Amino acid sequence: MWRNQLSEKHFDQEVQRYIAAQQNFSFVKLLGFGSYGRTYLIEEKSTKKLFVLKCLRLKHRRHQKTKSKFMQEIEILQRLSMPSIPSIQSTGTIQDIPFFIMDYINGQTFEQLIFDEGQTFTISQSLFITKQLLQQIVVLHENSIVHRDLRIPNILFANQQLHIIDFGLATFKKNVDFSLIDNPKQAENHISDLYFVGHFLLFLLYSSYKPSTSKEKPWQEELALPNDITNFLERLLWIQKPFNSSMEALQLLPIKK
């Protein structure tokens, strides 16, 4: 493990050297890393505009399947043209490690808003935010793309707008028989994204929940939601018959004033 960590630190230095050799960019800092990718913040010298350089993690450089998945992420982002999703500016390699440079979105994730900032959302606000998210998901699905990782760390709020980030697990949508799906999170169709939307909505609703007892109960009992919202959530979460599409979910979303 120590040698792997050292290698990644060495690669961080390689990235800094690469950026330093570019006339139009300067290196700012390491942003973070996940299972497959590593991200860095860089700045365009002439405009002071910030961008993100994302590269495949060094430990995956000889894993062709993971490398292909990373290249698919690039292909997916290049296919999309949505203001709510980062645009790719350029691609390349650093010591045979593929990377791409994309727009930096300066906002806060819903994980930060809820758990760091302590922000709470009413039922009405939660449904309105979910509507915005579903509208974006409908566009993804119309482009035959499924995100498959719509967790609260991957949904940003910036300039009064929702943004979806991290397409590392995204795939091209397939026609999948519902009866053959074992894990809705990994489904290569709309089921996966709607399942994550269900959990996203639950996080929003729980943000204002104050337990009256230490005994944990099912969310249906703890939140005591109106029946139409409970039914909507249960369809998202595969407890009841799932929606046939993200558009159907959007059209049937209960709106509370």
State the pairing for strand pair 161-164/171-172: unpaired
67 is in an annotated binding site: no
Q: Which helix (H) or strand (E) holds 137?
A: helix 123-142
Q: What HEC string does 4-63 produce?
A: HHHHHHHHHHHHHHHHHCCCCEEEEEEEEECCCEEEEEEEECCCCCEEEEEEECHHHCCC
Whether 149 is catalytic:
yes
The DSSP symbol for 74 reads H
Cα 229 from chain centre: 24
Residues facing residue 41 across a β-bridge: 29, 52
Task: Please identify which of the residues 96, 103, 116, 149 carries the catalytic annotation.
Answer: 149
Residue ranges at the known binding site for ATP: 54
Catalytic residues: 149
Residue ranges at the known binding site: 54
